[in-house]
Structure 1
Amino acid sequence: MSVPTGLSHGDLTLSAWVDESVIVDGSHSPTGTYTLAAAVADANTVSTMRDVVRGLTLTRGGRLHWVDESGKRRDRIAAAIAALELSAIVVAGSPVRRAKQERARRCCLERLLHELSSIGVRDVCLESRTATPDRRDLSLVESARRKGLIPRDFRIGFARPRDEPMLWIPDAVAGAVTASRLGEPRWLLAMSEILSEHEVEVR
């Protein structure tokens, strides 16, 4: 099995947590970009990682949310994520028009699931967006199975960020990608050693 940068070789049980960031056409960008980021980690190390990211919150019981953080806080968060034993896989799709965000998500999610499957991930947790869009994601998963892009035993679940701190990691990675595309690359550069990026055309 090919293990991505940021993870050690050996007998790993790889899981992934996925979140997104969106720049729509006309919002500081001539084309727009839909970014999906996955944090990939050995399931045996997840408990420790949850403790690390909880320790970055400002209030007990709070959560990290990239768009709400100051530049100084983002520096700290990016450095902490870069030090974790995980990998981040990013799929960025463009162009993204305001009325076509779901199309962009489908293009990016299909590619991301295939990339995750290719490195041995079998369990993926997506941030829940409410029932209707979650059902659309599950429909995409079934389509990817039929196309042979992911195996039959590939499992998808959903969680909310308040209940799953591991979702804070891809939120930060996706936010750093968006910040870089808008002219501030320092947080993405801080995480570059654990990151792999893929571009897709939104059809």
Structure 2
Amino acid sequence: MDFIPQRIAYIDETSAKTGAGTRLYGLAAVLTQARDHPVIEAELTAALTPGRDYLHHYDETPVRRAAIAKVIANLPLDGAILCTEVASSQQQERARVRLLAHLLPRLQYDEGVEQVFLESRSGADRHDRRTRERLRSSRRISTDFRVDHVGKSATPLIWLPDFVAGAYIAAAFHAEGEPWGMICASHLVDVTRL
């Protein structure tokens, strides 16, 4: 019988300028139950505007961001984790490694996640795979903990962490707090700065 994960996390990155030469870099993980995926996918797909293939926080107007946040607030999610670190533009890959090294064990052992999907960065996915293998060889995650990459068009579920991360950045740095407030009012979102 094939392995069918029940608790799944979807991860995407975010960043924002914080000052001269520094950026806040973050990874958002949204936790879901596999049984809820058909409902989540249907609601997110219904939120698309004509001609668009995916939702992306940055590409939406403030009014659309609030409307999409309302949809997300009503979805059956288990919550979200947002880990951030300040780094220079040249240190973003190192920050990603550090955040993944913190986040993946937490997802497996503390949150009971069985599979993780990261939004693909094409050729840069090899860095994530290297981090995954280092975590496995040091036994910080088990060898059966599945960590894979997917593109934006693979599933609407990968749009969720983009919106959580984008709403956080918009609230923290651009005085656009309504979407973040709606998401946090409905779902537990743990923000950790490393």
Whether the TM-score (by the shorter chain) exceeds 0.5 is yes
Contact 1:176–1:187, Cα closer than 8 Å, also in 2 = yes
Is 1:124 the counterpart of 2:116 in the alignment? Answer: yes
Is 1:75 the counterpart of 2:71 in the alignment? Answer: no
How far apart are residue 104 of structure 1 and its match?
1.0
Task: Select the residue among 83, 86, 89 that pairs with 2:80.
Answer: 89
Q: How does 1:177-196 map to 2 (within 5 A)?
A: 177-182=168-173, 183-192=175-184, 193-196=186-189
Query: In percent, how many aligned pairs have the same letter?
Result: 31
Q: Secondary structure at the match of 1:95?
A: strand
Structure 1 counterpart of 2:75, which letter? L
Q: How does 1:50-69 map to 2 (within 5 A)?
A: 50-59=41-50, 62-69=53-60
User: 1:172 and 1:88 mapped to 2: Cα distance?
Assistant: 13
Q: Secondary structure at the match of 2:30?
A: strand
Task: Select the residue among 92, 97, 102 that pairs with 1:101.
Answer: 92
Partner of 1:114: 105
- TM-score scaled by structure 2? 0.88
User: 1:82 and 1:45 mapped to 2: Cα distance?
Assistant: 14
How far apart are residue 47 of structure 1 and its match?
1.6
User: 2:164 and 2:114 mapped to 1: Cα distance?
Assistant: 21
Contact 2:54–2:152, Cα closer than 8 Å, also in 1 = yes
How far apart are residue 195 of structure 1 and its match?
3.1
- TM-score scaled by structure 1? 0.84
Structure 1 counterpart of 2:179, which letter? W
Q: How does 1:21-60 map to 2 (within 5 A)?
A: 21-26=14-19, 31-59=22-50
Is 1:199 the counterpart of 2:183 in the alignment? Answer: no
**Number of aligned residue pairs:** 187
Calculate the aligned-residue CA RMSD, in Å: 1.9
Is 1:162 the counterpart of 2:153 in the alignment? Answer: yes
Structure 2 counterpart of 1:87, which letter? D
How far apart are residue 19 of structure 1 and its match?
0.8
Is 1:18 the counterpart of 2:11 in the alignment? Answer: yes
How far apart are residue 101 of structure 1 and its match?
0.6
How far apart are residue 25 of structure 1 and its match?
4.8
User: 2:127 and 2:10 mapped to 1: Cα distance?
Assistant: 18
Contact 1:33–1:92, Cα closer than 8 Å, also in 2 = no
How far apart are residue 93 of structure 1 and its match?
2.3
Structure 2 counterpart of 1:125, which letter? F
Q: Secondary structure at the match of 1:109?
A: helix
Contact 2:7–2:32, Cα closer than 8 Å, also in 1 = yes
Structure 1 counterpart of 2:70, which letter? A
How far apart are residue 152 of structure 1 and its match?
2.0
How far apart are residue 164 of structure 1 and its match?
1.6
Structure 2: stretches of 5+ with no match in the other structure? none
Higher helix share: 2
